Amino acid sequence: MSNKEIKFSLVYRDMWQSSGKYVPRVDQLIQIAPVIVDMGCFARIETNGGAFEQVNLLYGENPNKAVRQWVAPFNKAGIQTHMLERALNGLRMYPVPADVRQLMPKVKKAQGVDIMRSFCGLNDHRNVELSIKYAKEAGMISQATLSITHSDIHTVDYYMQIVDKFVDYGADEICLKDMAGIGRPHSLGLLVKAIKERHPQLVVQYHGHSGPGFSVASMLEVARAGADYLDVAMEPLSWGMVHPDVITIAAMLKDDGFSVPDINMDAYMAARHLTQTFIDDFLGEFIDPHNKIMTSLLIGCGLPGGMMGSMMTDLKAMHTAINAALRKNNKQEVSIDSLLVQLFNEVEYVWKKVGYPPLVTPFSQYVKNIALMNIFAMANGNERFSIIDKDSWNMILGKMGKLPGQLAPEIIALAQKNQLNFYTGNPQDEYPNQLDDYRKEMIENGWEFGQDDEELFELAMHDRQYRDYKSGLAKKRFEEERAKIKAEEVAKIAPPSKEQQEQKLFAYISEKYPNATPITAPCSGTMLWEIDLTDKSTPPAPGTTYKKGVHIADVEAYFGMEEVLSPIDGKLLDTCVKQGTKVTKGEVIGWIV
């Protein structure tokens, strides 16, 4: 039992990005911020960073306006705000020049963000060194982060060597970022205990997603071992692929003897209601149902909750192509659920081959991309690793940091075959400064640099998305995407028109049987089908384009996408009209395929 005080940090930003494509608009954030304050149980809140600013740009909103207005109520209430950044990769998926990295904490501190949580997805301490330096120069609290995963390589000793480096660089705090929630509770407790014994001055914060189900036990173990802060969520987006709910964690720790803050349940329910209104407004249109469900399947693959939304989008996009390849090679098609399990298994296979990178952004996406391309390649009858994108190669070659484990011999051989060179230097050295180029672009375009150079920073960090935001293209795309989703929802409710049915049917036949020959009705009237199984001399009806042996007559037979094998020529007949349907001369009524 313990009487130690434990504090909670709300990951409201992460809740959305784990569940969908977008986050609430600034007008919605302004509504909920004071209600979260009124809950009275949060010492900290993760407000921005990660993909927060990028997704604001994607729907045509100004991320700097969002950050400033979002953090202001917490600043006023004395609740610390913190952001997430990816060290060498900043707030994006690929490396960032040092001068842009240095500008980031200056901008974020001026906007009202107190803590910079910095992690390298490869746990290469060299990538985090500049983050610690730049955060402290800007007057922010530097929270250096361990990317947690589970393997024979990722031991307490392994992590403690990194912690020691972080301390040497001047980190104020340590975060255990258990992004996939696969850290084992006992091992996490041992790690926190080791940190507190060797570096008692360090504040320790635990961030663990709920996906595979370890998170509640993990929070109890790290709290008992001396953790100071726990990251939690709240309904209606707690659990699933996100975080445990603050109510559950508070009750558990209180029973174990911890001093925990009281929760204003009236404010909790008000925040819960507001969050649901944001979902009902438009955010729910982008939330995949899978992301609300916990699954032990994640234990093996180790994929993080934070990328489940984008992963399901990618998987759905590839589903049709993979099934088309399977059909082409006379293999059985797969459902989206079967493909998801196949992807999990393939990620686990690839992960070990490419040096055990902790599966956190962007490296989780890289490993997932390789795995998905492997599945596509194998569906086409090709070998694994026949398609690897440039960013994934940069990870493999060491251009983003040192991999924790060893590459498999076949990956090394493939790199040599492609005449690719491995890199052993400091990754930051490969990416020269660029701020002057972006300053020039802003001047040429007549764009304001913004308060504290915040607009310059957004262009430098997310140049393509920022340009689309400034031109209005981002807003246009977002509205088009919403309109498409709404149309699809309406289509699910309203019965399709005859024209829509025909278009869908024609598309199906064209994809399934590219060389199909259409059959047209020889005359107007009621259509009945007969396959002549005996009389091979039966001539085709006048005016038809189908093969010998297929005959239209006034007898009952088949209807509705039936596949019938003709004994005359072995061809398949796909019919598309119901028996007794009235047809017009010249109307397509089936196909010889």
pLDDT tens sequence across 458-480: 999 999 999 999 999 999 999 99
Domain boundary among 268, 290, 312: 290
Instruction: Say which amino acid occupies 113.
Output: V
Whether 344 contacts 311, CB under 8 Å: no
DSSP assignment, residue 173? E
Is 160 within a domain?
Answer: yes
Q: Which two tokens stand for residue 295?
A: 């699954």
Q: How far is CA 581 from CA 20, 71, 233, 576, in A?
A: 45, 65, 57, 10
Read off the pTM. 0.78
d(CA 128, CA 163): 11
Residue 558: predicted pLDDT: 31
Q: Which two tokens stand for residue 107?
A: 């901008």
Q: How far is CA 102 from CA 84, 170, 191, 535, in A?
A: 15, 16, 31, 85
Please name which of 93, 215, 205 lies closest in space to residue 141, comparing C-alpha atoms. 205
Whether 315 contacts 307, CB under 8 Å: no
Shared domain for 273 and 323, answered yes or no, is: no
Shared domain for 283 and 304, answered yes or no, is: no
Is 441 within a domain?
Answer: no
Least confident range from 230-239, 322-331, 537-546: namely 537-546
Highest mean pLDDT among 159-173, 487-501, 508-522: 159-173
Number of separate domains in the chain: 3
Q: What is the pLDDT of residues 120-170, one digit of tens each?
A: 999 999 999 999 999 999 999 999 999 999 999 999 999 999 999 999 999
d(CA 232, CA 33): 16
Shared domain for 31 and 157, answered yes or no, is: yes
Residue 516: predicted pLDDT: 77
Is the per-residue pLDDT at 34 higher than 70?
yes
Residue 158: predicted pLDDT: 96
> Whole domain around residue 133: which residue ranges?
7-244+254-290
Higher pLDDT, 581 or 180: 180
Q: What is the pLDDT of residues 373-383, one digit of tens each?
A: 999 899 988 99
Shared domain for 403 and 534, answered yes or no, is: no
Q: What is the pLDDT of residues 270-292, one digit of tens each?
A: 999 999 999 999 888 888 777 88
Please name which of 88, 27, 87, 15 lies closest in space to residue 52, comparing C-alpha atoms. 15
Residue 21: predicted pLDDT: 77
Is the per-residue pLDDT at 436 higher than 90?
yes
Higher pLDDT, 450 or 568: 450
Residue 461: predicted pLDDT: 97
Q: Which two tokens stand for residue 176?
A: 């255990």
Higher pLDDT, 532 or 412: 412
d(CA 220, CA 189): 9
pLDDT confidence tier of residue 522, bands split at 50, 70 and 90: low
Is 48 within a domain?
Answer: yes
76: domain CATH number?
Answer: 3.20.20.70
Domain boundary among 415, 430, 445: 430
Is 489 within a domain?
Answer: no
Least confident range from 206-210, 388-392, 497-501, 530-534: namely 530-534
Highest mean pLDDT among 125-129, 389-393, 533-537: 125-129
Is 194 within a domain?
Answer: yes
Q: How many CA atoms lie within 13 A of 177 on its CB side?
A: 27
Shared domain for 261 and 312, answered yes or no, is: no
Shared domain for 271 and 340, answered yes or no, is: no
Is 404 within a domain?
Answer: yes
Q: What is the pLDDT of residues 89-123, one digit of tens each?
A: 999 988 999 999 999 999 999 999 999 999 999 99
Is the per-residue pLDDT at 559 higher than 70?
no
Tokens 């024209």 belong to: 499
pLDDT confidence tier of residue 535, bands split at 50, 70 and 90: very low
Q: How far is CA 512 from CA 324, 325, 506, in A?
A: 8, 11, 10
Residue 572: predicted pLDDT: 64
pLDDT confidence tier of residue 19, bands split at 50, 70 and 90: low
Residue 156: predicted pLDDT: 97
DSSP assignment, residue 541? P
d(CA 267, CA 122): 40
Residue 580: predicted pLDDT: 66
Shared domain for 308 and 273, answered yes or no, is: no
* φ and ψ of 587, to 5 deg: -75, 140
Residue 539: predicted pLDDT: 40
Please name which of 173, 65, 86 lies closest in space to residue 128, comparing C-alpha atoms. 86
Residues facing 525 on adjacent strands: 583
Please name which of 504, 531, 520 lies closest in space to residue 589, comparing C-alpha atoms. 520
Shared domain for 268 and 359, answered yes or no, is: no
d(CA 64, CA 71): 11
Shared domain for 53 and 89, answered yes or no, is: yes
Is the per-residue pLDDT at 216 higher than 90?
yes
Is 14 within a domain?
Answer: yes
Q: Which two tokens stand for residue 411?
A: 């990956």
Instruction: Provide DSSP, 176-244.
Output: EEETTS-S-HHHHHHHHHHHHHH-TT-EEEEEE--TTS-HHHHHHHHHHHT--EEEEB-TTS-STTS--
Shared domain for 413 and 515, answered yes or no, is: no
Is 451 within a domain?
Answer: no
Q: Which two tokens stand for residue 543?
A: 């005016």
Whether 208 contacts 178, CB under 8 Å: yes
